[in-house]
Amino acid sequence: MTVSESAADPRFARFRFWLLALLLLLFVPVGILAKQAMATFFIAGAILLLGAVALERRRLPLPERPVLIAFAAVVLLSLLGPLAGGFPLDIARTAPKLGLLALLLLAISAAPDIAEGLARRKLAHILALSLCLGALIFAIEIHFDAPLYRFFSGKGDAVDVAPSRFNRGSTALVLLTWPAAAALWLHGRRIFPAVILLLGLAAAFTGESASAALAAVVALLLLPLGLLLPRFTAAAIFVCSTLLMLAAPWIFAHVLTLVPDYLRLLPPSFAERLEIWNAASLAVLERPWLGQGLGAMRSLAVPEALRESYALFKTSTIHPHNAAVQIWLDFGLFGILAALALLWNLIQAAGRSATVARAAALSALGAGLVIASVSYGLWQETWLGLIGFTILTFGVLCRDDSASD
């Protein structure tokens, strides 16, 4: 059985089931070998799922009002910032990014309708199978010099393949093990959830992504807190995030002065990011209210004297590797407030889940915030696709009812 007896229209329910089954099965294994596939799978899957829901319901579920207001603020700020400050407005680059954000918010809001009538136990097992296969592929690629990537890409042994190419794969394994483990637990499994979480932890520590390893540790530390003190954990995540996001540009504008020996104390990659955050934060403080427009880091003018003072940050970068700094730079204070509204809505949604699912969601949220703080660009399609797919997976597989089977 792929649908339950409660399905309003079995035809649409079967379509949603098989589409989700295909997405859950392929997202991680294919995404490890071809990272751009994460964006492609999410975009195509979200459009098809939303289309099925719209045809079946004769309507498209909209996000809650605070989410709509926050999104409208982001759209407005993406126009106002450049116009008010005289910065270039790249509509061709801005519109697709905002469109992907809109698709993400719509898909997440439609999760209850997408999940209705589906045999979610089977979907949970499919995701678990996918994660096991993904962990195997990841281990092969990391330990045997990427033989599968070389074969499928047709590059053979002619090029070097850096292990960092698979960083998004380890990130996907770290994040998606949480909805899989929670869903399996909700459906009566007790050993397999622990195995799934260990797979994510192993991937994090065998790969080259320090952010994935740190995120995996933070997520595991949050799990007992989320189980025993869920309200405190949710409040702590939000309060800490709020304080750090609000203070980020002031912290990083002075960080090199506060830690003058950062080159000796930190790995080169992290030391370079401190310099990037410093340059971006100094630019933020020049226009802290409205920002400079979406993707401002690409055209950020770093004064020559400042650039010469850096030991590592010598060439331009497309994003600052820190979501808070990037939001400040793109949209200013009002963008930070919009982001906090979205974060609060996400935490509230997690609070409406069953105990285990809520704890897993808070762990995954903590992991995601850690990764967003030190890695990836906020508007990278693969990162937004992974975020959207993780939240949608929670919304579909970990709903607080058992009528679907």
- pLDDT, tens digit, 9 for 90 and up, residues 232-289: 999 999 999 999 999 999 999 999 999 999 999 999 999 999 999 999 999 999 999 9
Q: How far is CA 312 from CA 131, 270, 308, in A?
A: 37, 10, 9
Residue-by-residue DSSP string for 277-326: HHHHHHHHHHSTTT-S-TTGGGG----HHHHHH-SS--S--SS-S-HHHH
Digit-coded pLDDT (tens) for 13-45: 999 999 999 999 999 999 999 999 999 999 999
Amino acid letter, 80: L
Digit-coded pLDDT (tens) for 287-315: 999 999 999 998 888 888 888 999 999 88
Indicate if the pLDDT at residue 85 is higher than 90: no
Give 3-state DSSP helix, strand, coil % of the chain, rounded to 5: 75, 0, 25
Confidence of residue 405 (pLDDT cuts 50, 70, 90): very low
Question: Which whole number is the average pLDDT over 372-388?
Answer: 96
Beta bridge partners of 3: 118
Digit-coded pLDDT (tens) for 154-189: 888 878 999 999 999 999 999 999 999 999 999 999
Indicate if the pLDDT at residue 401 is higher than 80: no
Indicate if the pLDDT at residue 400 is higher than 90: no
Residue in 116, 57, 51, 11 with CA at minimum distance from that of residue 396: 116
Confidence of residue 84 (pLDDT cuts 50, 70, 90): confident
Indicate if the pLDDT at residue 90 is higher than 90: no
Indicate if the pLDDT at residue 87 is higher than 50: yes
Confidence of residue 7 (pLDDT cuts 50, 70, 90): low
Digit-coded pLDDT (tens) for 182-209: 999 999 999 999 999 999 999 999 999 9
Digit-coded pLDDT (tens) for 114-144: 999 999 999 999 999 999 999 999 999 999 9
Rg of the Cα atoms in the chain: 21
Q: How far is CA 386 from CA 65, 168, 297, in A?
A: 24, 9, 22
Indicate if the pLDDT at residue 403 is higher than 70: no
CA angle 213, 219, 224 (to 5 degrees): 140
Question: Which whole number is the average pLDDT over 375-398?
Answer: 97
> Is this model's pTM higher than 0.75 or not?
yes
Task: Work out the percent of the chain whose per-residue pLDDT is above 70.
Answer: 97
Mean pLDDT of the chain: 94
b/e for 21-36, b at 16 or more Cβ within 10 A? bebbbbbbbbbbbebe
CA 20/CA 30 separation, integer angstroms: 15
Question: Which whole number is the average pLDDT over 345-355?
Answer: 93
Helices (H), 254-267: 255-258, 262-265
